[in-house]
Amino acid sequence: MTGKALWQNLKILAECDHNILSLEKQKREAQKIFTTDQELIQKLAISIEEKKNRFRQEQKNVDLQELQAHDLKIKEEAKRTQLANVGSQKEYQAVRKELDRVSRDRDEQEDALLKAWHQLETAQKSYELEEKNSVGRTADLTEDIQAKAAAVQTLEQQLVELHAKRETLVQTIPPEWLVRYDRMKHNVPDPIVPVIRSSCSSCFYAVLHQDLYKLKKSDILPCRSCYRFLYYDQEEEKDVAKAAY
C-alpha cells in the first residue's frame, strides 16, 4: 500500500490508538473513584460500629455505676438502722464512723454516676449523629459506585469495539510501516501529522521543496526535525486557513 490510502489508514490508526489510550485513562479514573468510594463506605461502617460500641460500653458503665450506687444506698440505710439500735457509746462511735465512710463513698459514687450518665449521653448523641450522616453519605457513595460501574462497563464495551477496529486497520497497513508507526507512537502522542503552510504542523520545521512535492503526490515522509510521519491534505490545509481568519 502506498500513497493516500496509506497515510489515511495510518492517520485513522493513530486516532484509534489515541482514543484507546483516552478510554483506558477514563476507565482507570472511574475504577479508582469506584474503589475509593467503596473504601469510604467501609470506613463509615467502621466508624459507626466504633461509636455504637462506645455507646454500649458507656451504657454498661452506667448500669454498673447505678448498681454500685444502689448497693451503697442499701448499705447506708443498714448502717443508719444499726446506729439507731446501738447499746453503748463505744458501739455508737464505731457505727457512726462506718456510716460516715459509707456516706462519703455514696457521695463519690453519685458523682461517678453523674459523670457516667454525661459520657453516655455524649456517646449516644455522637453515635446517632454519625448514623444519621452516614445514611445520606452512604447513599450518595453507593449511587456514585453504581454510576462508575456503569461507566466502566460502557468504557469496556467501547474499548472492545476500538480494539476490533484496530485489528481490522492493521491488516490494511504493510508490516514495515506498522513497525515504524509503533516505534514512533511510543515516543510522541501524535505520530502522524499534516503539513500546514509547508511546515510540520507539530514542530513547525519547514519542509523542503522536493519533500513537499512528494507529499503533494500523496506520499508520506518523516519530518526531518521531529521524525513524525508527514502527509499533505489540501482540504485539511484549507480548513486550517479558514479557521485562522
Q: What is the predicted pLDDT for the residue at 240? A: 75
Confirm if 163 and 20 have CB atoms less than 8 A apart: yes
Q: What is the predicted pLDDT for the residue at 143? A: 95
Q: What is the predicted pLDDT for the residue at 218? A: 84
**Domains of the chain with CATH codes:** 12-170 (1.10.287.1490), 175-244 (no CATH)
pLDDT band at 245 (very low <50, low <70, confident <90, very high): low
Q: What is the predicted pLDDT for the residue at 83? A: 86
pLDDT of 1 over the 60 cut: no
C-alpha cell at 211: 519533500
**47 to each of 43, 122, 142, how far by Cα in Å?**
6, 16, 17
**194 to each of 7, 16, 73, 165, 221, how far by Cα in Å?**
10, 17, 96, 23, 11
Residue for cell digits 457512726? Answer: 96
Q: Please name the residue ranges forming H helices in the chain.
A: 4-84, 89-170, 175-185, 209-216, 234-244
Identify any residues that bridge with 193 across adjacent strands, giving them in sequence order.
Answer: 230
Chain-wide mean pLDDT for the chain?
A: 92
Q: What is the predicted pLDDT for the residue at 215? A: 92
Q: What is the predicted pLDDT for the residue at 168? A: 94
Confirm if 197 and 237 have CB atoms less than 8 A apart: yes
CA angle 79, 82, 87 (to 5 degrees): 140
The DSSP code sequence of 11-68 is HHHHHHHHHHHHHHHHHHHHHHHHHHHHHHHHHHHHHHHHHHHHHHHHHHHHHHHHHH
CA atoms in the 13 A half-sphere facing the CB of 74: 6
Lowest mean pLDDT among 1-10, 20-29, 47-56: 1-10
pLDDT digits (tens, 9 = 90+) for 38-85: 999 999 999 999 999 999 999 999 999 999 999 999 999 999 998 888
pLDDT digits (tens, 9 = 90+) for 170-200: 999 999 999 999 999 988 989 999 999 999 9
Task: For the full predicted model, state whether its pTM sits above 0.75.
Answer: no
Confirm if 202 and 190 have CB atoms less than 8 A apart: yes
C-alpha cell at 99: 456510716
Q: What is the predicted pLDDT for the residue at 174? A: 92
pLDDT of 11 over the 70 cut: yes
Q: What is the predicted pLDDT for the residue at 39? A: 96
